[in-house]
């Protein structure tokens, strides 16, 4: 049985630890990812997004996360805003 059949993928692309999101000289956003095979880091690569791409990704993630519980350490934009009158907005 291969590793991927046991639920452990052979290849993974994930956020690189301790690498922050940054802006390049053109104002694009750059997110550092790491490429891992069989648990061993092989390389890092940057995902560079235009502002429009970042907005589309943000919208897609917000849509995908809708209804999911918000962890305590979530960014402020994931926490509900309580308005007067008792209604909530995310």
Q: Which pLDDT does position 52 carry in this prediction?
A: 95
Please report which helix (H) or strand (E) contains residue 63, including its range: helix 51-65
User: Quick check: helix, strand or coil at residue 46?
Assistant: strand
- Express as a percent the part of the chain with pLDDT over 70: 80
Q: b/e map of 44-73 (b: 16 or more CB within 10 Å)?
A: eeeeebeeeeeeeeeeeeeeeeeeeeeeee
Q: Which pLDDT does position 83 carry in this prediction?
A: 67
The pTM assigned to this predicted structure is 0.64
Q: Which pLDDT does position 82 carry in this prediction?
A: 64
Q: What tens digit of pLDDT does each residue of 44-73 get?
A: 999 999 999 999 998 998 889 888 888 888
Are 76 and 68 contacting, i.e. CB atoms less than 8 angstroms apart? no
Residues 8 and 12: their CA atoms lie apart, in Å, by 9
């Amino acid at each position: 049985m291969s590793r991927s059949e046991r639920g452990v993928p052979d290849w993974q692309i994930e956020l690189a630890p301790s690498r922050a999101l940054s802006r390049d000289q053109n104002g694009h956003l750059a997110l550092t990812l790491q490429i891992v095979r069989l648990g061993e880091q092989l390389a890092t690569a940057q995902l560079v997004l235009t502002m429009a791409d970042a907005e589309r990704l943000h919208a897609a993630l917000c849509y995908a996360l809708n209804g999911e519980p918000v962890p305590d350490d979530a960014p402020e934009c994931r926490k509900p805003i309580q308005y007067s009158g008792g209604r909530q907005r995310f």
